Amino acid sequence: WFTGLKINVSELLVHLSILLFMGMVLYGKAGARVAYPALFDGLRLGIMVAIGLGFFGIASIFIKGFSHGTDTALGFAYFDRLKSTFNSPDAAGLFYAASIPILAWVAADAPAGSWRRRIALVGLASLSVLIVATGSRTARLASLVPLAACFAHRPLRGVLYRVLPVFLLVFYFGFFHRSLPAVLAAHGFTGPMEEAGFVSSFVYPNSSDSVAQSFLRDDGRAKLMRETLDAWPTDALTFLAGIGPGLSGLNTLGFPSPHNLIEIAIEQGIIGFSLFVAAFLLLMWRLMRLFLSADVGIKTAAICLLSGLAVIAIGSLTWKNQNWFFCWLIFVTALAVAREGEKRIALPERLALKE
């Protein structure tokens, strides 16, 4: 029970800190309020750092041998799957997928031939490698949404054409093999694999490692969802208010973790679940309005964040990702953009009414 209590208290502190940060960004005094361009600058810098750490993580897979139950060097990869500084390979993959339109915007906004544009293009192309390196099927599927969004938005379309061959090539190999080591092993590089400590058949190309054969396999998650629904409390209070956030409630009451968005309904009840989904959909609707009616800068910011929210939504089908920190960064940036964009739209309307 003590471990469960620590988990619940830690989650409460994390959510309170996020709430305070959102309040400062959105409702602080004019001098202290963080404008959305500054938030985007922070996201861009964070993405470039995450890319560098990601490639260090790929190198760490080959630096240090490992066995089942241990991470590779410095915890940057789990077995043959890159997780970088994120809590899991899937979290890393979804973050890289959500980063696609943001880096495309950096490249599109930079002067032609500048170093900033070249670095952004290299970073954008490298995202395809990092997404595949995580071995996440969810991230590969979710990345199709930001790619499609970039093609749909003219200012980003030309940039994406430049890196499209890299994405197609990397995703082709990634579709038939679960991880980068499996790709290398399939093409005759088994020696370096064995020297690096890949003693498990998990990393070698076989049916379980082929994303093509297992892409839509639920890995027992449908069974977990059915078990969770069968164990759902029948008393009205728990049904409405939930058992409380954190893993201890699930463990104490014997709930199987459904491994996705349904955990919110269990922990916070139908009321909390409905409020979260309603707020999420309202935020997407506000951004969609901006994309259809605002200036080019706000349009681009809106399409970047709509893509990020779509990636989070797809990820929530296989993971409970609502408490991942990068998801909250996207949430708060989206709220800041919606607030600023709606002000810009409302100002000409108010001036027209005065005239």
Band (206; pLDDT cuts 50, 70, 90): very low
Band (25; pLDDT cuts 50, 70, 90): low
For position 47, what pLDDT does the model report? 92
For position 205, what pLDDT does the model report? 41
Q: How far apart are CA 124 and CA 272, in angstroms?
A: 37
Q: How far apart are CA 276 and CA 145, in angstroms?
A: 22
- Better-scored residue on pLDDT, 186 or 324: 324
For position 347, what pLDDT does the model report? 47
Average pLDDT score over residue span 15-41? 66
Residues 286-338 pLDDT 10s: 899 888 876 788 888 899 999 999 999 998 888 877 777 788 888 888 888 88
Structure tokens at 152: 């749909």
For position 13, what pLDDT does the model report? 72
For position 4, what pLDDT does the model report? 52
For position 207, what pLDDT does the model report? 39
Query: Burial letters for 46-65: b for 16+ Cβ neighbours within 10 Å, e otherwise?
Result: ebbebbebbbbbbebbbebe
Residues 118-172 pLDDT 10s: 999 999 999 999 998 888 888 988 999 999 999 999 999 999 999 999 999 888 8
Q: How far apart are CA 24 and CA 321, in angstroms?
A: 23
Mean pLDDT for the chain? 76
Structure tokens at 279: 């707020």
Q: Which of 46, 36, 47 is nearest to 342 (CA)?
A: 36
- Better-scored residue on pLDDT, 353 or 164: 164
For position 340, what pLDDT does the model report? 80
Can you give the pTM of this predicted structure?
0.82
Task: Give percent of the chain above pLDDT 70.
Answer: 66
Task: Give percent of the chain above pLDDT 90.
Answer: 23
Band (273; pLDDT cuts 50, 70, 90): confident
For position 208, what pLDDT does the model report? 46
Residues 149-162 pLDDT 10s: 999 999 999 999 99
For position 199, what pLDDT does the model report? 42
- Better-scored residue on pLDDT, 291 or 216: 291
For position 142, what pLDDT does the model report? 92
